[in-house]
Amino acid sequence: MLIAGQSGDQLLTKPEQLDGSATSATAQNKRPASRLHVPQPPHRENGETSFGNPKLSPAGATRKPDVASKAVDLRDMAFELVRVLDDDGKALGPWNPGLSPDQLREGLRKMLLLRVFDDRMHKGQRQGKTSFYMQATGEEAITVAQTMALRRDDMCFPTYRCQGILITRDYPLVDMMNQIYSNAKDPLKGHQLPILYSARDYGFFSASGNVGTQICQSVGWAMGCAYRGTDSIAAGWIGEGSTAEGDFHNALVFASVYRAPVILNVVNNQWAISSNKCFSGVGDSTFASRAIGFDMPGIKVDANDFLATYAVTQWAAERARKGLGATLIELYTYRAGAHSTSDDPTRYRPAKEVWPLGDPVDRLTKHLKAMGEWSDERNAALIEELTAQVRTAQKESEAIGTLGQSKPSVSVMFDDVYKEPDWRLRQQRQSLGV
């Protein structure tokens, strides 16, 4: 095997020297040896800040097919980009979901709440209040719009960046913080790493932390819905980097074979820690197009566009609820922040990489303003209100304690391994005197 930079390089013949038809011994000697290709992102930390030239369909230009369309007739959708909001904040084209101003303001409120919450918790980690945190900065429209387009009884199989689902469903912020601080009131009894929440009553499946593992479970949940004859559905999320896992392929197989009422969401935020999406084997293709070989619709959407994200999710949910099977959605976005509090993106990507599709909060704000339904004053007041809300919750949670100051009773360390502890767990608990 030849690796770039090794002395073997000079043995290689440039491809243009070949005339592919030659079969003589000399011509064969000149055949270019295959070289190991190691992909590289367009730019690294010292490189340009422009994002290159992603294919962007103009807002409003992509067709909106009937939900009952056959997957074979939807293949083009996987290579377009569904967009509704244009640069001036106008909503264009057939995918405009026609949400009321109140609904739009609710979406904005939830996105901002998520952003404020993330900011406070990120800072909290920096102040030593917990071990770990992950923000969803720049990706807020995904969980908020998608959750609003789903029904409350639809089960969501989240990644670690899906806290917006809980926020949109009004899960108590204090309980999220208690979990983040692993304090005495942690609803998960200190068993789980910060941010990997679980909230069955809010349709939020226990987040794993092992990437990709839950996407096929969402298909199983959906199969269960269909088996039981209900019209609730499931939705699973996976990062574009994690689509490289076998779990993703298995999820597509099961969703296709059993026509499961599930929405499979690939959050393509361009980066998987320091690995660019080029390490997911997508090349010049799209993640949405992974669906095509499974006879499933694959739709790529501008996920910094609240309206487009809502509309595409609503379309897929309706299709699933009608028994027409799964949809794969590629949510095209950009991870604006670090991967996690343990990450420093300035060591592998341009510090000010400019995402051509803007910021989801700014774009929805602009739209509401263009409608005459929002103002700078109202925006400032809302941010103030949400900041106060988060601060109040934080005070309440920190009164119980942050990581290390407060924790659940050590005896609960042995709870929930099995429904009932066996003799080993009882003995081990006793050995600690708890």
Partner 1 sequence: MANMNMLQAINSAMDVMLERNPDVLVFGQDAGYFGGVFRATEGLQHKHGLHRCFDAPIAELGIVAAAIGMAAQGLRPCVEIQFADYIYPGYDQIVSEAARLRYRSAGDFFAPLTVRSPYGGGIFGGQTHSQSPEAIFTHVAGIKTVIPSTPYDAKGLLISCIEDDDPVVFFEPKRIYNGPFDGRLDKPVETWAKHAASQVPDGYYTVPLGKAATIREGKDLTIIAYGTMVHVSMAAVEMAGVDAEVIDLRTLVPLDIEAIYTSVRKTGRCVIVHEATGTSGYGGEILSLIQENCFHHLESAIERVTGFDTPYPHAFEWDYFVGPGRVADAIRRVMAD
Ligand X SMILES: Cc1ncc(C[n+]2csc(CCOP(=O)(O)OP(=O)(O)O)c2C)c(N)n1
* Residues that bind ligand X in the complex, under the rule CB under 6 A: 161, 209-211, 239-242, 267, 269, 271-273, 335, 339
Build a one-symbol-per-residue string for 171-200: x at contacts with partner 1 by CB under 8 A, - elsewhere.
----------------xxx-xx---x-xxx
For residue 187, the partner it binds in ligand X, partner 1, none, with Cβ less than 5 to 8 A by kind, is partner 1
Cα 293 to Cα 223, 254, 278, distances in angstroms: 20, 13, 20
For residue 310, the partner it binds in partner 1, ligand X, none, with Cβ less than 5 to 8 A by kind, is none
Name the CA dihedral angle for 74, 334, 42, 45, rounded to a multiple of 10 degrees: -170
Answer for which of 135, 146, 218, 314 binds partner 1 (CB under 8 A) is 218
Q: Which lies closer to partner 1 via its Cβ, residue 246 or residue 372?
A: 246
The Cα–Cα gap between 302 and 56 comes to 9
Query: Is the distance from CB of 198 to CB of 237 less than 8 angstroms?
Result: no
Q: Which lies closer to ligand X via its Cβ, residue 219 or residue 324?
A: 219
For residue 240, the partner it binds in ligand X, partner 1, none, with Cβ less than 5 to 8 A by kind, is ligand X
# of chain residues touching partner 1 (CB under 8 A): 47
Answer for which of 206, 274, 289, 389 binds partner 1 (CB under 8 A) is 206
Cα 162 to Cα 111, 142, 226, 302, distances in angstroms: 12, 9, 25, 17
∠ CA 98-158-169 to the nearest 5 degrees? Answer: 50
For residue 316, the partner it binds in partner 1, ligand X, none, with Cβ less than 5 to 8 A by kind, is none
216 is a contact residue toward partner 1 (CB under 8 A): yes
The DSSP code for 264 is: E
Answer for which of 375, 416, 430, 434 binds partner 1 (CB under 8 A) is 416
Q: Which lies closer to partner 1 via its Cβ, residue 241 or residue 337?
A: 241
For residue 20, the partner it binds in ligand X, partner 1, none, with Cβ less than 5 to 8 A by kind, is none
Q: Which lies closer to partner 1 via its Cβ, residue 116 or residue 235?
A: 235
For residue 273, the partner it binds in partner 1, ligand X, none, with Cβ less than 5 to 8 A by kind, is ligand X
Give the Cβ contact number of residue 149 at 10 Å. 22
419 is a contact residue toward partner 1 (CB under 8 A): yes
The Cα–Cα gap between 403 and 198 comes to 19
For residue 314, the partner it binds in partner 1, ligand X, none, with Cβ less than 5 to 8 A by kind, is none
Q: Which of 305, 293, 234 is nearest to 265 (CA)?
A: 234
431 is a contact residue toward partner 1 (CB under 8 A): no
Q: Which lies closer to ligand X via its Cβ, residue 146 or residue 183?
A: 146
For residue 379, the partner it binds in ligand X, partner 1, none, with Cβ less than 5 to 8 A by kind, is none
The count of C-alpha atoms lying within 13 angstroms of the C-alpha of 271, restricted to the half-sphere facing its C-beta, is 26
Q: Which lies closer to partner 1 via its Cβ, residue 376 or residue 422?
A: 422
Give the Cβ contact number of residue 381 at 10 Å. 11
Rounded to the nearest 10 degrees, the angle between the axes of helix 360-370 and helix 101-126 is: 150
Residues 132-161 that bind partner 1 (CB under 8 A): 155, 157
Structure tokens at 201: 């009553």
Query: Is the distance from CB of 329 to CB of 313 less than 8 angstroms?
Result: yes
423 is a contact residue toward partner 1 (CB under 8 A): yes
Q: Which of 401, 339, 395 is nearest to 190 (CA)?
A: 401
Task: Give the H/E segment covering residue 262.
Answer: strand 262-268
The Cα–Cα gap between 49 and 43 comes to 8
Q: Which lies closer to partner 1 via its Cβ, residue 184 or residue 383?
A: 184
Structure tokens at 156: 């969501």
Q: Which lies closer to partner 1 via its Cβ, residue 105 or residue 249?
A: 249
Going by DSSP bridges, is the β-strand pair 298-302/327-332 parallel, antiparallel, or unpaired? parallel
Structure tokens at 117: 């919450």
Q: Which lies closer to partner 1 via its Cβ, residue 209 or residue 356?
A: 209
Chain residues that interact with partner 1, rule: CB under 8 A:
155, 157, 187-189, 191-192, 196, 198-200, 205-206, 208-210, 213-214, 216-225, 227-228, 234, 246-247, 249-251, 253-254, 257, 415-419, 422-424
